[in-house]
Amino acid sequence: MIIGVPKEIKNNEYRVALTPQGVDALLKHGHTVYIETGAGIGSSISDDKYLSAGAELLPTAEDVWSTAEMIMKVKEPIESEYELMKDGQVLFTYLHLAADRPLTDKLLEKNVTSIAYETVQTEKGGLPLLSPMSEVAGRLSAQVAANLLMKSEGGRGILMGGTAGTARAKTVVLGGGTAGYEAAKVAAGMGSRVTVFDINIERLMYLEDVNRDEIDTAYSTPLAVAEALRDADVVIGSVLIPGARTPHLVTNEMVANMKPGSVLVDIAIDQGGCFEDSHPTTHTNPTFKVHNSTFYCVANMPGVMPHTSTYALTNATMRYALLLADKGWKEALGARPDLLHGLMTYDGALYCENVASAFGQDFKRPQEAIA
């Protein structure tokens, strides 16, 4: 198979979909890999390293898209890339379609076979291709919140861990999955008082077992969240329903009742965000004000930690990329039920119920695509 890796062009997106080690693995299986010139520079991977691994360099994104049978990316195609997609091409990347109607329509129009990293799901509910970036985003969210609490950034001027004789910041984390847990661990490590809300009792029990002395847990209800927010300095939203638009757990009214200078970080913004007032921002202009609080809603948070993120992502995606290249996408999806969950579009039809529900569209069962 011919695999193409274009350079990421989303705002401040420095990751790349494949490392030289990933290139080497694909080549050893008999495949061809084309990398757009300069695609890895943001992740501190030079063109020479790709050449040494056996990749072929192409000068433009147009060259990569037009040549490849399967495109591997990190982030979803943006508008300027829509017309580069071609009929029958396999696209393997993060997509988050439930929050992106224009891209969904274009994938259907172009008859692209799209497979989303974020909905590849194991029998036990694990999200192996989302988890590495959730770790990065979760840990980064606590760092971002601590910075935005500074008075010079419009915050309350409170130190996460306080000092002797002074109060610590109070952090509320909505969602106890990978991103939420990582956010809670880092915030607690900074000395903040942390409470994690979730509706999964088993998950809350697990968090209690491993972090009894550092992190509090609470069952998530609208009233419980509203009460916690009134006293919170930081709120980190990390709620996820695979493939679906994120429910709004924090209303405008709740924010109006928060402390002036409080900070809200929405990790779930890729799927629409879990705060009512959230809208996607960029690393160039990451924040905006709602009432007297600061919102941070950057849709590609791990993009500014590209070296760590690129290697972590390739470590996770390579076994699936090799399977897709070795067997072709239909046989690969038939062999791996977890990968089958990732199918979004094929031959002009939608294959994800949650995306279809978000837009009121019809959908087919993924099994029909590989029958």
Task: Give the residue numbers annotated as catalytic, written as ranges.
Answer: 96, 270
What whole-number distance in Å separates Cα of residue 261 and Cα of residue 289? 10
Of 231, 220, 236, 129, the closest CA to residue 182 belongs to 236
Which residues are registered as beta bridge partners of 266? 237
Q: Which helix (H) or strand (E) holds 34?
A: strand 32-36
Q: Report the SS3 class of residue 148.
A: helix
Alpha helices in 149-271 (DSSP H): 178-189, 201-210, 222-230, 252-256
Asked whether 182 and 138 are in contact (CB, 8 A), the reply is yes
Q: If you ran DSSP here, which 8-state letter would residue 281 be given? A: B
E strands, 138-274, are: 170-174, 193-198, 215-219, 234-237, 263-266
On whether the CB atoms of residues 152 and 121 are closer than 8 A, the answer is: no
Whole-number Å distance between alpha carbons of 75 and 13: 8
Give bridge partners of residue 296 from the DSSP assignment: 265, 287
